[in-house]
Amino acid sequence: MSKNFRSVMLCFALSLVCAATAFAAAPSKQVQIGISKIVSHPALDAVVKGVQDELKDAKINATFDVQNANGDINTAASIANKFQSQKVNLAVGVATPTAQALVNTLKGIPIVFSAVTDPVKAGLVPSLAKGGKNITGVSDMTPVRQQIEMLLRIKPKTKRIGHIYTSSEENAVVLAGMVKQVCKEKKLEFVETTVTKSAEVKQAAQAIANRVDAFYISTDNTVVSAMSAVADVASKAKIPIVSADPSSSETYDVLAAWGFDYYKMGRATGKMVVEILKGKKPEQMPTRFMTKASDVDLLVNLDGAKKLGLTVPADIVKSAKTVRQNGKLTKK
């Protein structure tokens, strides 16, 4: 009897081991994530990469359908319809127009926005303190005042600031209003011009180049995607550019760029995606902001300053994480 009992118990133990092994080996359920970005440029591409890397590190078995609206609102709407038809498990809207398109179209599918300046004014969430129905995300509200003050320290004689922005992009309109207000307080002339697509950016820059002392470029995705055009016009007019997007400023002749590390923003967005996939409700999640000093990048182009006959204050150079000098880009 004792021998039989031991045999039974041994078989039972072996079956438990086999079951546990089979369970451990079974792959987790695969989820499909739809990602829609308004345009392709280094900052937004970095957000997408950050989201993907965060889910990979969290061991989420995910496939990604990454779509680019190429700056077109109708395309953004088509992408949203595609995600609805696919019944993706979750959708990520990178930038305001694509996030708005997802909200207007998706039913019963959680949405996480990223790189959205003012999600409340954009109609994405009722307040910054809580998410909307099936939506929450990460804001990239940029420090406009500090950026313009930095420009004035590098070029104290600046009297007129030129600003190009997209009239149809909510975050761009919000930032333009902020730039205008700061210029008013600093007794600077605000020279604005608007575009509807990236192909218009160069002509817009040319239209105001002879009327300004510097260009200020915000996180307007349409304009940032055409930064090469702005840099070309500014170089010929011998005026500096200060940008809110360091990622897109490494390649072009931008004097200084102060803004967020968009890859880290992507990682922060990815963390919210993981939380929702694990059962958290978007309504319970307030809008998140990039608040750590390590989340912010400052790029200074000393070669560009030299061409313009400008001297960048030593403390600004010291605090920069990226410096261009003698044709080399150095990251600290």
In tens, the pLDDT along 31-63 reads: 999 999 999 998 999 999 999 999 999 999 999
Predicted TM-score of the model (pTM):
0.79
Structure tokens at 162: 């030129």
Of the candidates 117, 301, 128, the residue with the CA atom closest to the CA atom of residue 218: 117
**CA 230, CA 97: separation in Å to the nearest integer?**
23
pLDDT at 153: 97
Count the neighbouring beta carbons within 10 Å of the beta carbon of residue 136.
26
CA angle 158, 162, 165 (to 5 degrees): 150
**CA 260, CA 142: separation in Å to the nearest integer?**
8
**CA 142, CA 178: separation in Å to the nearest integer?**
10
pLDDT at 150: 96
Of the candidates 148, 156, 119, the residue with the CA atom closest to the CA atom of residue 136: 119
SS3 96: helix
Given a contact cutoff of 8 angstroms between Cβ atoms, the answer to whether 287 and 139 are in contact is: yes
102-135, pLDDT tens digit by residue? Answer: 999 999 999 999 999 999 999 999 999 999 999 9
CA atoms within 13 A on the CB side of 142: 31
pLDDT at 162 over 90: yes
Tell me the C-alpha to C-alpha distance, in Å, between residue 291 and each of 93, 136, 148, 247: 21, 17, 19, 18
CA diameter of the chain: 101
pLDDT at 109: 97
Confidence category of residue 5, pLDDT binned at 50, 70, 90: very low
Q: Which residue has the higher pLDDT, 128 or 13?
A: 128
Structure tokens at 176: 């333009």
- Sign of the dihedral defined by the CA atoms of residues 221, 224, 229, 234, in that order: positive
